[in-house]
Amino acid sequence: MEHFGELYIDGRWIAPSGDTRTLIDPTTEDPWATVTAGGGEQEVDLAVAAATRAFATFSRTTVAERVELIDRIIEAYERREDQLSQLIAREVGVPVSFKAQVTGPAGHMKVARDLVSSYAFEHQIADTVVRREPIGVCALISPWNWPIQTSVIKVIYGIAAGCTMVLKPSDASPASGVALAEIMHEAGTPAGVFNLVIGPGRVVGEALSRHPDVAMVSFTGSTGAGARVGEAAAQTVKRTCLELGGKSANVVLTDGNLEKAARWNVSRAFSNSGQSCHAPSRLLVHRDQVDGLVPFLVDEIDRMSIGDPRDPATTHGPLVHAQQYDSVQRHIGIGLDEGGRLVTGGLGRVEGLDRGYFCKPTVIAGVTREMTLAQEEIFGPVIVVMPYDSEEEALEIANDSVFGLGGYVFSEDRKRGYDFACGIRAGRVAFNGAAVNSHAPMGGYKQSGVGRSMGVFGLEEYLEVKSVFGFEDESHDLPTFS
């Protein structure tokens, strides 16, 4: 078995004291690696101290120097894409055919590099220079469902801004964090700029969130965990950027293309085995059109190839671990007990797969807004079909959630679709299945989060604003952050 037993602090690999634990392959349910059980407060203190020392120098680097570093990181990353694809297939069950998981991060790095190259860190208001300066040491806490991409986005925008950082990967995907640390080391990242501490959230995440020398926490995960991060961070009044849970609605207006909406909904909701915070898990259709849409859902599901994620022919792999499988099974059972109508799927493993956490792709119709499946995030391959009688009611149902991360609208009328999208209380809304734009901000309304990632808005999460008075506009000899 492989062993991932070290943390990365101040440019060196160190072995923490303590036990190791076993990583389970979600496809076979067999052990495949061991990993350090993680660091504690002592290792967090060491990592934050290293990042604090490095910040004194790295925060004053030029944009050109940081761009050069990002280019080296991109080169090191792209050399390992095949290896990373195999790693996350083994670690969290992501199919190697789902190439966006490993090709996407390089694209995000290039967006950040190009953005920072032209970003105005200073501008003039009358006799005042308004500066954007790196906020300081950042704690980056990433999830397991996009174990590499989410970490990369946090890391690369922090570096672009001139910040230093400590990354804590999810307990379910520590090997991905180690791989990213190896890439950062190979790229020649200055000691202390990037640090990796593995460990449970209740220990490492808590210590990072409370640490007085951490200036900002960027967290992606569940709403419950995000609330605890926010509470801990508030003790030292630090900035938080939280991307949390979702229960996104896909609203098919009466003039929408039913087949296109249904097939796209299955593709988007069940990618990554449904383990996506932006998944369109609520499908809202006019009551008179439900029967016309449902057969397209079933047909699209029948086209899925579920199995070993290391097989290039596989389109959908297992859930990440036993706890997630049990949670999804429990939600399916609740949905049926509360009166939902099973269209396809249901309880139990996928037929022919006796090992692994393979959940049947499931559609449950007749779900109303007060039912559990309409309100709780399932985080698995489950779509609920919810009927509506008017466009006004559809908007009410779409917004009847504590979450507000994503939304989707299908209509053949651009103005009608845009007007409806503007009424959805969510951070990102896609029209007719449009692809996301990595230059645009990502984040949520309500209990789906605070702050934004990606693009200009994502960069500015890592920057403070300072006003320097008494300098006229004609003073062009001032030193600049760039």
Which range, of 9-23, 233-247, 266-280, 309-323, averages the lowest pLDDT?
9-23
* Same domain, yes or no: 234 and 105: yes
Number of structural domains (the chain) is 2
In terms of residue numbers, what domain contains 81?
2-244+448-468
Q: What is the mean pLDDT of residues 296-312?
A: 98
**Per-residue model confidence (pLDDT) at position 39:** 80
Q: Rounded to the nearest 5°, which phi and psi values hold at 277?
A: -70, -20
The model's pLDDT over 262-300, given as tens digits with 9 standing for 90+, comes to 999 999 999 999 999 999 999 999 999 999 999 999 999
Examine residue 125 and state whether it is found in any structural domain, yes or no.
Answer: yes
* Same domain, yes or no: 424 and 277: yes
Catalytic residues: 243, 277
Distances (CA, A) of 10 to 53, 145, 154, 372, 415: 9, 28, 19, 47, 54
- Read off the CATH number of the domain in which 384 is found: 3.40.309.10
State the burial class of residue 471 (Cβ atoms within 10 Å of its Cβ: 0-12, 13-18, 19+): middle
State how beta strands 403-404 and 128-134 pair: unpaired
Q: What is the mean pLDDT of residues 147-153?
A: 98
Percent of the chain surpassing pLDDT 70: 98
* Same domain, yes or no: 287 and 322: yes
Mean pLDDT estimate for the chain? 96
Longest Cα–Cα distance in the chain: 75
Examine residue 272 and state whether it is found in any structural domain, yes or no.
Answer: yes
Angle between helices 63-78 and 100-118 (to 10 degrees): 170
Check pLDDT > 80 for residue 17. no
* Same domain, yes or no: 88 and 60: yes
* Same domain, yes or no: 33 and 102: yes
Q: How far apart are CA 245 and CA 445, in angstroms?
A: 10
* Same domain, yes or no: 361 and 464: no
Q: Which two tokens stand for residue 248?
A: 């996104």
Look at the block and give the residue holding tokens 């991932």: 4
Check pLDDT > 70 for residue 181. yes
- The reported pTM is 0.96
Strands (E), 207-351: 216-220, 239-243, 249-252, 282-286, 341-344
The DSSP call for residue 316 is B
Q: What is the mean pLDDT of residues 247-270?
A: 98
Examine residue 443 and state whether it is found in any structural domain, yes or no.
Answer: no
User: Quick one: pLDDT band at residue 16, thresholds 50, 70, 90?
Assistant: confident
Among candidate residues 244, 247, 202, the one with its CA nearest the CA of residue 223: 244
Check pLDDT > 60 for residue 475. no
* Same domain, yes or no: 274 and 343: yes
* Same domain, yes or no: 240 and 253: no
The DSSP call for residue 27 is T
* Same domain, yes or no: 357 and 398: yes
* Same domain, yes or no: 397 and 419: yes
Percent of the chain surpassing pLDDT 90: 95
User: Quick one: pLDDT band at residue 37, thresholds 50, 70, 90?
Assistant: confident
Q: What is the mean pLDDT of residues 97-112?
A: 97
* Same domain, yes or no: 323 and 189: no
Examine residue 202 and state whether it is found in any structural domain, yes or no.
Answer: yes
User: Quick one: pLDDT band at residue 146, thresholds 50, 70, 90?
Assistant: very high
